[in-house]
Amino acid sequence: MGRLRYCLPSDIVTALAVVTASGSISADPQYGFTALYDKIPAKPLKFETVGPIRLVFDFGEAQRIDAFALPNHNLGAESACVVALNNTNVWTAPTCVVAMPTGADHLDGHVASPWADFTTASGYSSAGFRFCSLFVPVQSVNIKIGETLLMANLRRFNHEPQFGGNKGAIRRYLESLRTEFGVVRVNRRRIKQRCYAFMLKGSTVDYEAIQSLCDDAGGVADPWFFTPDDAVKIDLGLYVRFTEETAQKLTSTEEFFYVPSGAANRGFVENFPLTVEEVSRSLPL
């Protein structure tokens, strides 16, 4: 999968923009524009229309935007979404345009999570743009968008942390009653969340980057963007958190193998276990 890409929670700048939209939006304020950046992908911006719609993010001044992701939505497979950057709110011929089609739903019900990399597109500039746009074509049902990740810095690990191949699913157990005798009643949630576990094999720069990421996220407090560095971007634009166990390891003393100075791969960390879990896909909208 190559080097893994990510951004710090503080790299996600959606909340800095004033958002407007074409199309009729739900009158319920719980499902308004703040749903696009409240870190709760299950609570969407609801449209009272099947589209097409356009969301415009106005930063008031030039803002660097490296990437865009749509981790949770109800859009149909192969929807021809388009994201763009421009210095004026005119979208007939914007400066930087990237197609962001959605992939097919997974067999286990997970919806595809498309993302776009502006840094490799024609017209991109790290100096930034005032406006960013998301265009969604007409759908078969009223459109719901759970979160939009506008990222000011799309980062890449220095080496290639090994992905491993462990991909599981969890179903949360939610406590609903605890008696004074310590008896606990729990409800098992049917919603599946993916977990990705891998052994870090990278440089000490990678290890320090992951520690900085954990610090920025407050351990498990804030989600962050995570994806394989893949040319296919119709899926796997993941919105994840560190598991509590991994966060504790990154903020305490942890044993791992280190190739000493003078060896062929000196300065490399070997076999440091990392696990993240999704907070996005397949959540109810």
* CA quadruple 165, 213, 70, 74: dihedral sign: positive
* Cross-strand partners of 12: 151
Give the other-Cβ count within 10 Å of 223's Cβ: 25
Name the residue among 146, 149, 140, 150 with its Cα closest to residue 52.
140
Asked if 46 and 144 touch (Cβ cutoff 8 Å), the reply is yes
What does the domain layout of the chain look like in residue ranges?
A: 4-156, 166-278
Classify residue 5 by burial, with Cβ atoms within 10 Å: 0-12, 13-18, 19+. buried
Encode the chain (285 residues) as per-residue pLDDT tens digits: 567 889 999 999 999 999 999 989 988 888 999 999 999 888 999 999 998 999 999 999 999 999 999 999 999 998 999 999 999 999 999 999 999 999 988 777 778 899 999 999 999 999 999 999 999 999 999 999 999 999 999 998 876 655 555 566 655 555 567 777 777 776 665 566 778 887 777 777 788 888 899 999 999 999 999 887 776 688 888 899 999 989 988 887 655 655 665 555 555 676 778 888 888 877 777
**pLDDT score for 154:** 94
**pLDDT score for 110:** 78
Asked if 193 and 277 touch (Cβ cutoff 8 Å), the reply is yes
* Complete DSSP assignment for the chain: --SEEEE-GGGB-GGGSEEEESSPBPS-GGGSGGGGSSS-TTS-EEBSS---EEEEEEEEEEE---EEE--SB-PPTT---EEEEESSS--SS-SEEEE----PPPTTSPPP--EEEGGGSTT--TT-EEEEEEEE---SS--EE---EEES--EE-SS----TTEEEEEEEEEEEEE-TTS-EEEEEEEEEEEEEEEEEEEEHHHHHHHHHHHHHTTTTTS-EEEEE--S--SS--EEEEE-HHHHHHHTS----EEPPTTSTTTTEEEEEEEEEEESSTT---
Class at the top of the CATH hierarchy for domain 4-156: mainly beta
**pLDDT score for 126:** 96
**pLDDT score for 80:** 95
Distance (Å, rounded) from C-alpha 224 to C-alpha 110? 19
